[in-house]
Structure 1
Amino acid sequence: MNAKVSISERAGASFPVRRMNFNFDAVPEYWMNGNAGLTHFMTALSALFPAGEKFFIDSVRAVRYHPMLKDNADLQKEISAFIGQEAMHTHEHVGFNASAQKFGHDVDTLDCYTDTVIQTTRKFMAKLAKPIGITQKMVDLTATTALEHFTATIASQLLTNSHIQELMTDDTMKTMWLWHAIEENEHKAVAYDVFEGVFGKGLKAYALRTSSLVISMLTLFFVQNYFLWRLLKQDKQLNLENLRMIYRYAYSPSKGIITGMGKEMLFYFKPNFHPNDFDTTTLLNTWKAKLGF
């Protein structure tokens, strides 16, 4: 594994914070099986993470001492570990994005675009929700809860879809994405538990979280695909062959990473949904052993 790892147990949380230090210097330009289209698909996804995960941290941190949460010692430990893991994800994706930038792929601009989209959308949604008593903090938390479900679900695909794993032919990048996937599943319930602690389980909470998922997924779909189109076009790789590869990788019925997420994503609409309904304990233990965690 091309990374130094140290682990902090974060004072009793149910999952640790692993301090990674990946070296991206030897990562090739097209690290996904030598294919530009697949590599740019993952780079377009990675471009969402630095600003996105900072948003997650800020959203949870802003409400962690809410009257309904402040005396919950166990949840406070989980929140601290959640913040630690997300901060490390941001750090490593910044490192990878910089390695893509050195090949002339303008990920820095995409990172700025991500922040602009987040800030514009959150402020617009807060204006819409203000008449029904929803604050900016609550809008941010609800969006974070929805997006955390997305990240946990795509992480499950990375850990279970052998076709995707085989295409990750660079060891550094494969390890980085699998480490990230493990941790997204380890902390997948934290933002949801914070949301439920503040809002409860009533009809208003259900309407908020499900509508937020729809809005978040539509926004994410258009932004990530715009990023992908921009990277392909700038690299002069916008052609039918690359588009066919991307389709098979992301959207084919049998092996696609996005289509494979469908069932788990839809479970979010169950009235009694909880992220831990999908038990990934055995899966995570298997991968932690493989990666030496």
Structure 2
Amino acid sequence: MHGSAHMGNPDDIIPRDIRFGILENAQRHWLDGDIIKTVLIDGLSIFLPEGERFFIRSLKHYGPKIADRELAAEINGYAIQEAFHTREHEEYNRAMTALGYDVEKMEKPIRLGFEVVKNPLHRLAITCAIEHMTATLSSLTLRHPELLDNAAPAYRRLWMWHALEELEHKAVALDVLKAATPDMSRWQRYLVRVLGMNATLFPFLVLFLRNVPIYAKADGVKTGLRFWLRFIWVTLVAPGYWRRCMPNVLRYYLPGFDPRNSDDAELMRKGREWLANDMPPGRAATPANPAV
């Protein structure tokens, strides 16, 4: 494993080429020894390689059309970060396959779902919605790092790194939407944004919940009433991951929604400090421009 945490300015989008070695450290129930807590996070990784490639294509389509060179540079930084995320989550998913989970079966409808979206503006609107959802989860992770206190080290580092970078670039997609639609009124743009979330949130929940029994089957765990009652408890009560996220997810429906929050700079500072302190000594990674 190698990399650099790169302490920088709060507004920086800093690609960090870090390899976390999940395949060599593959572990079942790596969070608290708990299948439900673990599937809630492993289940996200199932979405990520296809999703991140989709996001990169969505934003890079508009890059040459945007006159704002600073925003164009942010698109490039965003794409490099997401390319590294794709690489690490492909390995993460290979680790799940090695442990006996049917990743291909879980990924297939996700891949098909992204493939049917052809219109560039629709792709961008969906990217904006998903980026808000991931930024919400990332903010929760950075505000409450104790949620990962009992995680296996390689997994904890990967998710803290991912959370930090999602926070760094969380406003880019919405900035691109605004720049790409100069002829739209504020309310037309709002409608595009909200329809993008409507087209994202329900299918995400359906696919995520559809994948849980497939995941559990590999562990020989029956997903009967007791399983689902505890699933509801973990997601909505304690620790209540989804309950904690829902208010901020719903903020997206406010007409004047701005993804930037007053504590973003402090969360990024803490995340960068945490990453710098937790990573083992190694070769500093120079930000690169991988094929995306």
Structure 1 position 118 matched with structure 2 position 117: no
Give yes or no for contact 1:19–1:88 (8 Å, CA) kept in 2: yes
Q: Corresponding residue for 2:284?
A: none
Aligned to 1:132: none
Q: 2: CA distance between counterparts of 1:103 and 1:256?
A: 27
Of 260, 272, 275 in structure 1, the residue corresponding to residue 256 of structure 2 is 272
- What is the CA-CA distance between 1:8 and the residue it aligns to? 8.5
Tell me by how many angstroms 1:111 deviates: 2.5
User: Is 1:238 equivalent to 2:222 in the alignment?
Assistant: yes
Counterpart of 1:30, as a letter, is: H
Shift of 1:191: 0.6
Tell me if 1:161 matches 2:157. no
2:26–2:99 CA contact under 8 A, matched in 1: no
Give the match's secondary structure for 2:252: helix
Counterpart Cα distance in 1 of 2:34 and 2:239:
17
State the distance in 2 between where 1:247 and 1:174 align. Answer: 23
Shift of 1:151: 0.7
- Give distance in 1, aligned partners of 2:222 and 2:35: 9
1:73 lines up with 2:79 in the alignment: no
Gaps of 5+ in 2: 278-292
> What is the CA deviation profile of residues 88-130 of structure 1, one whole-angstrom value per residue up to 9, with x for unaligned ones?
111111111111111110113322331112123x25xxxxxxx
Partner residue of 2:234 out of 249, 257, 266: 249
User: Which residues in structure 2 correspond to 1:272-291 (within 5 Å)?
Assistant: 272-291=256-275
> Percent identity at matched positions?
25
Determine the C-alpha separation between the residues in 2 that align with 1:38 and 1:263. 21
Instruction: Provide the rounded CA distance (Å) in 2 between the counterparts of 1:76 and 1:95.
Output: 29
Give the structure-2-normalised TM-score: 0.86
For residue 280 of structure 2, what is the aligned residue in structure 1?
none
Distance of aligned partners of 1:255 and 1:58 in 2 relative to their CA distance in 1, 3 Å threshold: same
Q: What is the aligned counterpart of 1:181 among 139, 149, 163?
A: 163
Equivalent pair of 1:164/1:249 in contact (CA under 8 Å): no
Give TM-score, length-normalised by structure 1.
0.85
Pairing 1:49–2:48 present: yes
Q: Which residue of 2 aligns with 1:143?
A: 126
Q: Deviations over 1:13-42 (max 9, x none)?
A: 822100011112123222111122322222
Give the SS at the match of 2:87. Answer: helix
> Per the alignment, in what secondary structure is the counterpart of residue 258 of structure 1?
helix
Whether the aligned pair in 2 keeps the contact of 1:152 and 1:181 (CA below 8 Å) is: yes
CA distance in 1, matches of 2:178, 2:82: 20
SS in 2 for 1:292: helix
1:24-83 per-position Cα deviation (integer Å, ceiling 9, x unaligned): 2123222111122322222221100000010000100111122xx1x2111011000000
More deviation, 220-229/102-111: 102-111
Q: CA shift at 1:269, angstroms? A: 1.7
1:96 maps onto 2:92 in alignment: yes
Amino acid at match of 2:81: Q
Aligned to 1:130: none
* Structure-2 change in CA distance of 1:17 and 1:141 (3 Å): same
The answer to whether the Cα contact below 8 Å between 2:139 and 2:163 also exists between their aligned partners in 1 is yes
The aligned amino acid for 2:31 is M
5+ long unaligned stretches in structure 1: 124-135
* Contact 1:4–1:20 (CA under 8 A) maintained in structure 2: yes
- For residues 7 and 36 of structure 1, the distance between their equivalents in structure 2, rounded to whole angstroms, comes to 30
Give the C-alpha shift of residue 242 in structure 1: 4.2
Amino acid at match of 2:49: P
Partner Cα separation in structure 2 for residue 116 and residue 234 of structure 1:
23
Alpha-carbon contact 1:37-1:237 (below 8 Å) kept: no
Aligned-partner Cα distance in 1 for 2:188–2:209: 32
1:47/1:107 contact within 8 Å kept: yes
Please report the RMSD computed on the Cα atoms of aligned residues, expressed in angstroms.
Answer: 2.1
Structure 2 CA distance for aligned equivalents of residues 244 and 81 of structure 1: 42
Q: Aligned pair count?
A: 270
- When structure 1 is superposed on structure 2, of 24-33 and 206-215 the one drifting more is 24-33
